[in-house]
Amino acid sequence: MITLCASAAIAAAGAMLLTACGGGSTSDNPLLKESTLPFGAPDFKQIKPSHYLPAFEAAIAEKRDEIKKIAESTDSATFQNTIVAYDESGRTLDRVSRIFFALVEADKTPEIGEVEKKVMPMLTDLENEISFNKPLFARIKQVYDREHDSLQGEDKKLLEEIYKEFVLNGALLGDEQMKRMKEINLKIADLQQQWGDVVPEATNDAVVWVDKKEDLAGLSEADLAQCAKDAESLGKKAPYAIVIVNTTQQPLLASLDNRDLRRKVYEASVHRADGTGKHNSYPLVVQIAKLRAEQAELMGYKNYASYALEKTMAKTPKAVYDFLKSLIAQYKPKAEAETQAIQDYARKTMGTDFELQPYDRFYYSAKMKKEQLNISDDEVKPYFNIDSVLINGVFYAANRVYGLTFEERNDIPTYHPDMRVFEVKDKDGKTKALFYCDYFRRPTKRGGAWMEEFTKQSRQRQTISVVYNVCNNAKAPDGQPSLLTWDEVTTLFHEFGHALHGILSDCQYNKLSGTSTANDFVEMPSQFNESFASIPEIFDHYARHCQTGQPMPAELKERMLKSITFQTAYALGENLAATCLDLAWHMLSSSEVPTAEKAADFETQALERIGLLDAQIPPRYRTSYFNHVWGGGYAAGYYSYLWTEVLAVNIADTFAKLGPLDPATGQAFRDKVLSRGNTGDLMQMFTDFTGMASPDASSLLKARGL
């Protein structure tokens, strides 16, 4: 994600809720019973919107009862009766939450939205009750004090994680501070729920309507068809609609000849939620930022970034800034040269007084690429049929490297007819996981791409991973193949890298399994998995013409692969700018957070201070629609994408040396990293596989062609 990955943001946001999960029982509610479908798959044929609220009520009551039994036990606190019991509590609520929040993100109908409004305060109340349950924490602390030194392996790690979680949530605070922390938690949950309504609605409303086909000159027939289809689905206020995706820059700007329409599309994107129109998310932003800063201060930290980074590989804001500043210093000359080259190119046809604007950049860059490399998206997209990319690319790579096979299951129901389900089998023929994919955009789905699980792998619970990927690709009309850009191809590989982290998990405890790692590690498997997309044997296997089935010609393939590193300073710059915005907001004390009216000015000043204020390369997400940070779990953590890209490049280099498709190398990576979840020191996992004492950041710019 990202490429587009919001995937880990959803995982982190979900994790916050799922620490507070549990059950109940009524005879007619399918959510409150173990599914009878294979591998515990959710029975979406039976589940109705009316089931969710009573299921949550019953599951929360069950969770409360389970926690009460642990906290009020008169038996001496032990690892089994306290720590394991805590990890095992709330299994019903875990199931209900994972199913429900999958729909909140991917198919949020009005009915689901109404349930969410009622459920979020209930879950936050429960989380507060558990986080500040003094008898419960006293027993956890007793186990920590008595057994920490004698426990080993996953047992020790589980104890450490649970104890640290309680401490960082405020279990050691005084009564008045605890009371205030509870209030803050409730308020933030309410504000994030409002964010989850405002920003998707703002993005949907930012659609640009087009009356005449000639205004869309430059678009392919497939893009024109998509614009007509989007207009139809959005009420057909005009014959064509250009929908806004979640990032600042819009893909269609690379093709639109009409400069004024390019401007309208770009401005619709950047102003979608800043109060210029009817939507304004800034009041939510500043309230969340202020409350997070106060949380940190209650915990004895200078700012929220210092507090949040306590749980990461980076550990401190200084470590993150040192990393970012080294990249910025190397990036800026490249970015300036890239911008100048595009402007010089545009002036050849537009005149010497032509001033390149941000909505022009993709357009003239695409023309430059076409002229210099003789390549365009329209030329290569016929070779990237989504079905072939998935089966002959993503799955084929997983088979070659990890020995996995995939069998489609048409008998397992889904929450939307566009979804597909596959049974994943290991090299010994045993079922390893279920994998769902939901790849096409619709109005009820938020923007971006992500991975999550309906069920996590756990030996303790005797469960396998039931995992899903979600993307926002355009769906072709019936009977026509859905074609992808190269970026969308790598997104499929990326999200499946997250899925593999869940599929290949082999951990004892639910809390430690799969993707339950720090944000600045969890994006590594996904970013590494992108590297398989361009390995010749994999590429040749999936890049086949959608009509003839012929592989991409060698000459076109060479030009296409060369184009991957064409003018890549932009992609790095937009990511750096978004990362620095995230940190700037979360380095503030509660008294320093600006008003909503000054939020846009703060953004400008923050980018200027770090040396990234560049109209030509705006942040990938501006403050007003930065969902990872204000709606998801990446507050003070968006740097993770760049941090883990370094890890991923180092791991890809290790694979390249040992044989990128060598099963022995894949097995080593599986054994030392992918199967281990959060059961050990994350940097040590990296070292165990690569042999490197620490990551080599210099490899990142080289890998990006800079």
Query: What residues does 240 pair with on adjacent strands?
Result: 210
Sheet holding 450-455, edge to edge: 405-408, 420-425, 431-440, 465-473, 450-455
Catalytic residues, which ones? 495
> Phi and psi dihedrals of 688, rounded to 5?
-60, -35
Q: Which of 359, 318, 355 is nearest to 340 (CA)?
A: 355
Per DSSP, the residues of 390-430 read IIIIIIHHHHHHH--EEEE-TTS--SSTT-EEEEEE-TTS-
CB 461 within 8 A of CB 454: no
Here the tokens at position 380 are 């290569």
Q: What does the alpha-carbon distance between residue 546 and residue 512 come to, in Å, rounded to a whole number?
A: 42
Distances (CA, A) of 469 to 276, 439, 571: 34, 8, 23
Query: How do 465-473 and 431-440 pair as beta strands?
Result: parallel
Q: Which of 21, 46, 15 is nearest to 31 (CA)?
A: 46
Q: What does the alpha-carbon distance between residue 12 and residue 125 come to, in Å, rounded to a whole number?
A: 19
Distances (CA, A) of 153 to 141, 259, 570, 679, 683: 19, 61, 44, 7, 16
Query: What residues does 453 pair with on adjacent strands?
Result: 467
Q: What does the alpha-carbon distance between residue 254 and residue 240 come to, in Å, rounded to a whole number?
A: 18
Query: What residues does 468 pair with on adjacent strands?
Result: 436, 452
Here the tokens at position 165 are 């979680």
> Residue 447 contacts by C-beta under 8 Å, 6 or more apart in sequence?
6, 200, 203, 245, 246, 247, 441, 472, 627
The one-letter amino acid code at 98 reads R
